[in-house]
Amino acid sequence: MMAADTYTDFDIRSDPLYQEGMIHFQSGAWDEAIRCFELLEKTYPDNPLLQAALDEARFKVGLDRSTRVRAKRWILPHWLPVLGRLLLVAGIVVAGILGVRALLREVQPSLEAARIERRREALLDEAFTYLEAEDFDAAEERFQEVLAETPDNTDAQQALAYIEARRELEVLYENGVSLQENGQLSEALDVFEEVNHRSPRYRDVVVRIEAIQRQQGLEELASAADQSYKLGRTDEAIGLYEQLRTVNVRYETETVANRLFELYMKKGRLLMTQDPPVLEDVPKALEFFTQALALKPRDSSALLEQKLARLFLEGQTYTYDRQWDAAVERLQEIYEQRPDYLGGIILNMLYEAYVRSGDQYRDAGDLHLAYEMYRKAEQLPVSDVAWARGRLAYVQPQLTPTPTPRPTATPRAGSGGPAVKPIPRLETLVNKIVFYSEANGYPEIWMMDPDGKNREPLGAGWDLRLQFDQLVEKQHYGPDGVTYAYVQDAWRDDLKEWRAQIFLVCPLDPQFGNLPPLQLTDIKGLAYDPVISPDGTRIAYVGQEINRSDDVFLMRIDGTEQRRLTDNVWEWDKHPSWSPDSLRIVFWSNRTGIKQLWMMNADGGNPINISNTKWDEYDPIWVK
């Protein structure tokens, strides 16, 4: 009963093990065929088809084993039994062949079905592999082959529908990219949001949506800034453009920078041309001019406005401190550049400074210099020069026949009279150190060798001081003539106030063009007096940490590796200047109680006093 049910319920010819046994049977591998059939016999012991195949295989094995090659015997009486056996064997062989053929006719459809199924599975596996790699063309080709053989295959049908949807999504995505690149941001945003709705996290759609939203916000901010600019709302436009740069420093860089530069300059000039002048607003104006220079560091108009504002503030400070020679120097330079500066206030301040400076020289017994100062005051176009004339009337009778001191003279060739020794231009004194010395009781420009020898006064004229200032400015530039270090106030959130820091104008970047200035220092105190080494690799500067003295610091040109070269408690070390070979630094220090010039190695080692005087000497420049 069990065998009949088993055969009815399951056709043994579809069993892979049975098919394997038949393959061995057909190839004459009788032992392998018997092994497969015996394994099946455990599961289907009464299956007639299996029993027939097993019996036939066993018969073949027995037949092979009983067959022996024997020597021919030609004894005639025995040929009849041999012939009988041969006929029997031939009958069995013929029956076996006919049985095998019958079996093959039964098994062949199953083998073909199995082959088709294996091919279909292989095609599906290959198709899904291509699908995972998003090679949709190759995947589609395989799925179509599957459907050609099995049209109702749901896996292939669903996969082809997925491929079609992904292709539609890709077309939609590429359309969005094209719209975004063409500046049609609103349309592009609609497309990308549709793509994101259909397939969240598809490619970089989320990133593009965020970028478009930021761009739209920037454009709204830029539009508001442009509107304020056109309506002349200077403060409002400055605030909006500054906010725009804070949000995205690269947004329309040139346009925003040009607008801000124009607005900074306009605001600064408005403060400086108020009627009547408001001196308390000069620091604010200076800040605007400095901000303008941060955008265009070499703009001549901004440089002039910044310079004049700084000179005025310095002159004002020296006036308050009654340092009249220093006040005269600053105020005179402003007057030569712009006589009506601050509505003419500068003229009256300069007049007073000349008279007060003359009084100091008079009280010190130097009537010649006092006379010179009074004379310059009298020549100024002020409304009342009686003060200066009164002083002149007092000192003139006390002068020797030569009312003004002459520089050291040398005999002129072919003449018996003295000749004035020409003063060289400071920029030609290569490898000399020029500096201010008060050896004669007032600031003069001197020069000497780097070892402190061959000291010589050059004078105190305005032309020399102008050359000196030009050498100071030259030290801010790198050897390429483009890299430029300067000082600008920077906001510190922790202190809630502005602090002077060092910034760097970098050369033109081959990829990004003009880059914004790089802030190099960010200390709680002040950083100033930056000078770039002649080899262009380092910057020496002065740092004033909170509750510390002013010291000389060193850093790489990019602001890294900042370190202190001098370390004092109360003393000042200021105004560094590089040697032409970038190996040493000269500076001034009051560590001995008075201002003296010192030399040290570029790493801060081996400091040496090269002044060794009893009077102040300061602000050295190593001419390069």
Q: DSSP per residue over 16-75, as a string?
A: HHHHHHHHHHHTT-HHHHHHHHHHHHHH-TT-HHHHHHHHHHHHHHHHHHH---------
Encoding tokens for residue 249?
């420093």
How far is 420 from 409, CA to CA, in rounded Å?
5
Beta carbons of 264 and 289 less than 8 angstroms apart:
yes
Cβ–Cβ under 8 Å, residues 409 and 421: yes
- Residue 415's pLDDT is 36
pLDDT exceeds cutoff 60 at 8: no
What's the whole-number mean pLDDT along residues 196-202? 85
Could you give the angle at which helices 205-230 and 234-247 cross, rounded to 10 degrees?
Answer: 160
Residue 258 has pLDDT above 60, yes or no: yes
**Lowest pLDDT segment from 80-84, 301-305, 511-515:** 80-84
* Residue 81, pLDDT score: 67
Averaged pLDDT score across all residues of the chain? 85
Q: What angle do CA 446, 452, 458 make, to 5 degrees?
A: 15
Mean pLDDT on 61-80: 57
Name every residue whose Cβ is closer than 8 Å to that of residue 140 and which is 6 or more positions away in sequence: 160, 163
Average pLDDT in the 320-324 region? 91
Of 423, 442, 445, whose CA–CA distance to 434 is shortest? 445
Q: Which fold has domain 284-405?
A: 1.25.40
3-state secondary structure 373-425: HHHHHHHCCCCCCHHHHHHHHHHHHHCCCCCCCCCCEEECCCCCCEEECCCCC
Cα-flanking dihedrals φ and ψ of residue 619, to 5°? 50, 60
Q: Which CATH class is domain 426-622?
A: mainly beta
Least confident window among 79-83, 196-200, 242-246, 441-445: 79-83
Q: Tokens for 188?
A: 């592009």
Residues 605/583, Cβ–Cβ less than 8 Å: no
Query: Poorest-confidence range of 254-268, 509-523, 566-580?
Result: 509-523
Residue 324 has pLDDT above 70, yes or no: yes
Higher pLDDT: 293 or 67? It is 293
Give the CA angle between residues 316, 317, 321 to the nearest 5°: 120
Assign 536 a pLDDT band (cuts: 50, 70, 90): very high
Q: How far apart are CA 221 and CA 441, in angstroms?
A: 60
More confident: 218 or 365: 365
Radius of gyration of the chain (CA): 51
- Spatial neighbors of 278 by CB under 8 A, at least 6 apart, are 271
Is the pTM here over 0.85, yes or no?
Answer: no
Element (H, E) at 486: strand 484-492
Check the CA dihedral 244-248-253-257 and report its sign. Answer: positive
Q: Please check the confidence at residue 414 and state whether its pLDDT lies above 80.
A: no
Q: What are phi and psi of 180, to 5 degrees?
A: -65, -45
Cα–Cα distance measured from residue 541 to residue 566, given in angstroms and rounded to the nearest whole number: 11
Query: In the predicted model, is pLDDT for residue 356 greater than 70?
Result: yes
pLDDT of the residue at 373: 93
CA distance 231 to 163: 56
Q: Chain-centre distance of CA 610, in angstroms?
A: 43
Between 115 and 351, where is the model more confident? 351
Q: What angle, rounded to 10 degrees, do the helices at 324-337 and 345-363 form?
A: 150
Tokens 């520089």 sit on residue: 407
- pLDDT value at position 69? 47
What band does 409 get if pLDDT is binned at 50, 70 and 90? Answer: very low
What does the domain layout of the chain look like in residue ranges? 284-405, 426-622
Tens-place pLDDT, residues 548-571: 889 999 999 999 999 999 988 788
State the maximum Cα–Cα separation within the chain, in Å, rounded to a whole number.
Answer: 181
Position 67 confidence tier, pLDDT thresholds 50, 70, 90: low
Residues counted in the chain: 624
pLDDT given for residue 406 in this prediction: 37
Which of the four pLDDT bands, split at 50, 70 and 90, describes residue 66?
low
